[in-house]
Structure 1
């Protein structure tokens, strides 16, 4: 009877050790996967930063040209020449339309950058955090009996002074 209990205890220990190893293996696989995804995302971010730098330089060149033109128009405006010109009124409506279009394009570009990089949105991050919390609780629940059995066995086998 004593050997049967010892054999059952030995089987339980082997099973719990195997499940603990499986949990550790799964966690390391997740870690490797996440590191690979992070490296890929960082590489893509660097590429997008390069592209964004080119766009910024082009926009800066256009800004310089527009500044010069605006300065000459401002001079004419201060002189009172532009207020009566119908082309100025038409230009004003075009500028407003261009500003609206530019805002839409920048919003679209921002959304595409986030989508292309693979960065999770705030709602996706909240979902991931919830899933991680659930998984963490499950792992803790699985490891709790192992810890108890390990602590109980550790106190039984160690001699007391």
Structure 2
């Protein structure tokens, strides 16, 4: 089986939750944050924040060895190009501000090739000039891992008329 990898842009509560679910299901995950302070906070949130991996160990859902394996599958960075290099898909999990989300997707468009770009906000569509690779997740923490998940495609912006 080919190792699957993902990038999560945004290491807040939602972003670290998404990263945790992906890593617990065998994905190598790169979490991108804006600066080193936020990188540290995101890493701490993943491990010992509310619903973090330490809680999973305390609740008997993970062993300490399993927690350590999950932590080893998650890397943190401030470099968007490095975070997205070679990953299978990217999930945006930044603040609920359309201007910020728009800038994130413009930056992602510049540094990624053909990876699908997922937004955790379905209402986001229509706010970018180019959404050909943009998809929405109705259930962001579980959608990629469950059969029958909904992936809503954005409109074509290449001028070819293809979706």
> Shorter chain as normaliser: what TM range?
under 0.3
What is the TM-score of this pair, normalised by structure 1? 0.18
Identify the structure with bigger relative contact order (alpha carbons < 8 Å, sequence gap 6+): 1
Larger radius of gyration: 1
What is the TM-score of this pair, normalised by structure 2? 0.18
Q: Which has the higher helix share?
A: 1
